[in-house]
Amino acid sequence: MGEAGYQASLRMPVWRAGVRLATEHAGLVRSLVRRELMSRYKGSLGGLAWSIITPLVMIAIFTLIFSGIFQARFGSGGGHLNFALYLFCGLLPWIAFSEGVQRSTAVLIENVNLIKRVVFPVEALPVTVVLAAVCQQMLGTAALLLAAVMIEGRLHITALLLPVLLVPQLLAALGLGWLMASLGVFLRDMAQFNQLFLQAWMYLTPIFYPEEMIPERFVWLVKFNPMAPLVRSYRRILLDGQMPDWRGLSITLVFALLCFLFGYWWFERTKKAFVDVI
């Protein structure tokens, strides 16, 4: 992109730039997502199955700890299998969200050869890793629904609302992905900081434990956590047959829009320096 094109991109509204990326470069993004998924498991025997095996191992460990030792229970069904279902349902969106943000931190450094190409849309690289993580989430969601049918014997019609929940999740992941990708170029310690921050955020989100277990003095941590309503809504539509937490999701959506707008704005204003720093 030349100087004139760069200045034009700075004046372009964020929403229009996003539409341009989704239309003009849709084919490129699809190819990059396919390459990202294939490169992750190239040469492995399990292939894409690892995207399901890994969370299943985590689920087995945390089910043993929280359900087996601490006797924590999700929903009204009780039992270890029911706990595992709720745990899997909460883990899937979180893994997709955190993995997309974490992978974005180093995606520009890993693709220096593409960044140095004048005509390459570098903003597509964080989009690629975020969408690849969501693709893996969809595989896991299919496995979750199959397990729910086998264990509970039913599939709720509210599962059709899944795309509604993907909207704020994608907006937040894309915005934070652009922000982390840019910061990762200038601050090489950003990947380590990001990993610690996301790990702390995960444990502050009621994924491994029901919200009822949270002491009263710490309830505010969930109340102001934008990921808590999202995880809660996933469990409602996929496992409980209830409508999403619309009020909580409104907070999540505001947070996601702010992340998306600021992340893209920051990325566009710093990308000209990427080649010089890398």
Separation between Cα atoms, residue 243 and residue 90, nearest integer Å: 16
Q: What band does 1 get if pLDDT is binned at 50, 70 and 90?
A: very low
Residue in the block written with tokens 């893209």: 264
- Look at residues 133, 138, 129, 137 and name the one whose alpha carbon lies nearest to residue 177: 129
Separation between Cα atoms, residue 74 and residue 148, nearest integer Å: 14
The whole-number pLDDT of residue 3 equals 46
Residue 165 has pLDDT above 50, yes or no: yes
Percent of the chain past pLDDT 70, that is, above it, reads 87
- Coarse DSSP helix, strand, coil percentages of the chain, rounded to the nearest 5 percent: 80, 0, 20
| More confident position, 258 or 29 | 258
Task: Decide: 74 and 82 in contact? Cβ < 8 Å.
Answer: yes
Separation between Cα atoms, residue 37 and residue 135, nearest integer Å: 9
Give tens-digit pLDDT for 3-32.
Answer: 444 444 545 555 566 666 666 778 888 888
Give tens-digit pLDDT for 100-137.
Answer: 999 999 999 988 888 877 678 889 999 999 999 999 89
The whole-number pLDDT of residue 46 equals 67
Separation between Cα atoms, residue 47 and residue 194, nearest integer Å: 27
What is the CB-side half-sphere exposure of residue 48 using CA atoms within 13 A?
15
- Look at residues 63, 97, 53 and name the one whose alpha carbon lies nearest to residue 205: 97
User: What token pair was written down for 13?
Assistant: 């509204």
The whole-number pLDDT of residue 20 equals 63
Rounded to the nearest integer, the mean pLDDT of the chain is 86
Rounded mean pLDDT, 220-228: 92
